[in-house]
Amino acid sequence: MINVSHNISSTSPSKSSFDLKSIMAHEMGHVVGLDDETKLKYGDSVMYESLSTNEIRYNLSKDDENGYHAISW
Ligand SMILES: [Zn+2]
């Protein structure tokens, strides 16, 4: 479920809107078992705990890849 009380863009985010693809990439990370990344040094991680408006972050970082490979299937 997406909280539509926030301004979300499915095309390109702006100073006042969030990027839908970045949100969905993050939420899909939770679906496969990844937790939020809270360390600032991993701020480029899809799984970083916050996303700013006008920010695009859906390409997996090394931290995301390491987390994925650490999951026991
Ligand atoms: Zn999260």
Q: If DSSP codes are grouped into helix, strand and coil, which group holds residue 68?
A: helix
- Report the pLDDT value the prediction gives residue 14, as an integer from 0 to 100: 96
CA–centroid distance, residue 30 to ligand 1 (Å): 7
How close is the Cα of 48 to the center of ligand 1, in Å?
Answer: 7
Taking ligand 1, which is a single-atom ion, which protein residues have CB atoms under 5 Å away? 36
Could you tell me the pLDDT band of residue 47, with boundaries at 50, 70 and 90?
very high
pLDDT score for 72: 80
Residue pLDDT, tens place only, 7-44: 999 999 999 999 999 999 999 999 999 999 999 888 89
19, burial (CB in 10 Å: exposed 0-12, middle 13-18, buried 19+): buried
pLDDT in the model for residue 4: 82
Cβ atoms of residues 3 and 13 within 8 Å = no
pLDDT of residue 63: 94
Distance from Cα 43 to the centre of ligand 1, integer Å: 13
Helix (H, G, I), strand (E, B) or coil at 23: helix
